[in-house]
Copies of this chain bind each other. A is one copy, B any other.
Amino acid sequence: MFGQWKLGACLPTFASCADRYCLGGYGRGGATMEEMLAMARKVEGLDGLELVGNWHINDTNIAKVTGLFRDNGFAIPMIVPDLWTQAKWGRGSLAAADAATRRGAVAEVKKCMDWAAEAGCPFVDVWPGQDGFEYTFQADYSDAWKWLRDGVAECAAHSKKVKVLVEYKLREPRGHCFLNSAAKTILLLQGIPNTGCLLDVGHSLAAGESMAEAAALLADHGILDYVHLNDNTRSWDDDMIFASVHASEHLELIYWLLRSGYKGWLTLDIFPYREEKIPAAAESFAWVRVMIQRIQARGLDRITEIVRRGEGTDSVRLVRELLTGSAPAGKAGA
């Protein structure tokens, strides 16, 4: 917990992260759920961990897993249907050209919704990362968009106990993903009850968005339901330690989350390929904490005043004062 927010993490934070060359991963991650939970307990303030359907939670182990989480004092804020780690999704899931594949994807999401309901988890995260294309003339954009909408709608109607969040991303694993921006996500979900958006801020960065603007747009449309934190170099979803690259942009993001009244989870989606896992998570949260503290010390209203002025130098000075901890200059905007 930190203020109004709960702090979470995806499990790769504590696992041996693979890349396409080093399939065994570089690091010393936990091999079992028990090991990962033990590592997670050493991250101060952590409230919960996301699970991937089938991999981490399934019909066989659900009682055991929820017990483990309860015993360790962790919530399960999210279950993620696995629509992306198996060859069968390689040409799409909810928006696949093949109708049977689309049906299979919907079934997978529903299954996770059932587990979520049973585990007391409020959300599933539909990430259509395999729905996209690599080459020109390889996708029927009109069909795909309709299928994606239909699939999400069918899932959302399955149960009122669990909300269906969708997560956008510019690319990867597909060369281009259909659902690749905050605005497209808003369009996709219009008129579909029981849905919302999971904003992965690194996906927003890599898509060329302003993360803060994306958060504001989603909040203004009433669908900012969950946030993933990480950072990257803007050219790829590197899943780096929070704020390690774009500190001023993350600071602005935190301001907009506070201003919009967001009260949900701040969940790490980092892949510490070569780093020790526990310190990498702790360092991310250390950045979160100092940013929130600095913003609150200055005061939202005084910051908003500068934001509305639109004077670039004043904005840069504000960032410098907040980040470096310098006292603000004597007169307003000086």
A residues contacting B by CB (< 8 A) are 17-27, 84-87, 89-92, 97, 129, 133-143, 145, 170-173, 175-176, 178, 181, 183-184, 186-187, 207-208, 210, 212-213, 216-217, 220, 233-236, 238, 240-241, 243-249, 251-252, 255-256, 271-276, 279-280, 283, 286-287, 290, 294, 303-304, 306-313, 315-320, 323-326
**Chain B hits for A294, CB < 8 A:** 324
CA distance A234 to B252 in the complex (A): 19
Interface centre among A84, A244, A309, A317 (most CB of B within 10 A): A244
CA distance A325 to B234 in the complex (A): 27
Contact A312 B87, beta carbon cutoff 8 Å: no
**Chain B hits for A134, CB < 8 A:** 238, 240, 274, 312
CA distance A59 to B317 in the complex (A): 41
Besides A135-B315, A244-B316, 15 other A-B contacts (C-beta < 8 A): A22-B86, A26-B87, A91-B310, A133-B310, A137-B318, A139-B213, A139-B310, A235-B235, A236-B236, A245-B249, A247-B247, A275-B311, A280-B313, A283-B317, A323-B324
**Chain B hits for A238, CB < 8 A:** 134, 175
CA distance A21 to B87 in the complex (A): 10
State how many angstroms separate the Cβ of A187 from the closest Cβ of chain B: 5
Contact A137 to B306, CB < 8 A, known contacts A175-B238, A325-B324: yes
Contact A142 B220, beta carbon cutoff 8 Å: yes
State how many angstroms separate the Cβ of A298 from the closest Cβ of chain B: 11
Q: Out of B24, B187, B272, which one reaches A187, CB within 8 Å?
A: B187
Q: What is the oligomeric copy number?
A: 4
12 contacts between A and B (CB under 8 A): A21-B84, A25-B87, A27-B87, A27-B90, A138-B311, A141-B256, A175-B238, A176-B213, A247-B248, A279-B317, A286-B317, A290-B320
CA distance A87 to B287 in the complex (A): 28
Contact B136 A85, beta carbon cutoff 8 Å: no
Contact B22 A326, beta carbon cutoff 8 Å: no
Which residue of B is nearest A188, CB measured? Answer: B183
Contact A313 B241, beta carbon cutoff 8 Å: yes
Contact A137 to B290, CB < 8 A, known contacts A21-B173, A173-B21, A274-B91: no
Contact B138 A97, beta carbon cutoff 8 Å: no
**Chain B hits for A86, CB < 8 A:** 22, 24
Contact B312 A280, beta carbon cutoff 8 Å: yes
By Cβ-Cβ distance, the 5 closest A-B pairs, closest first, are: A26-B90, A183-B183, A141-B216, A136-B252, A137-B315
Q: Out of B138, B187, B315, which one reaches A136, CB within 8 Å?
A: B315
**Chain B hits for A20, CB < 8 A:** 17-20, 271
Contact A21 to B129, CB < 8 A, known contacts A135-B240, A184-B183, A240-B134: yes
CA distance A235 to B244 in the complex (A): 20
Which residue of B is nearest A136, CB measured? Answer: B252
Q: Out of B173, B236, B240, B308, which one reaches A140, CB within 8 Å?
A: B308
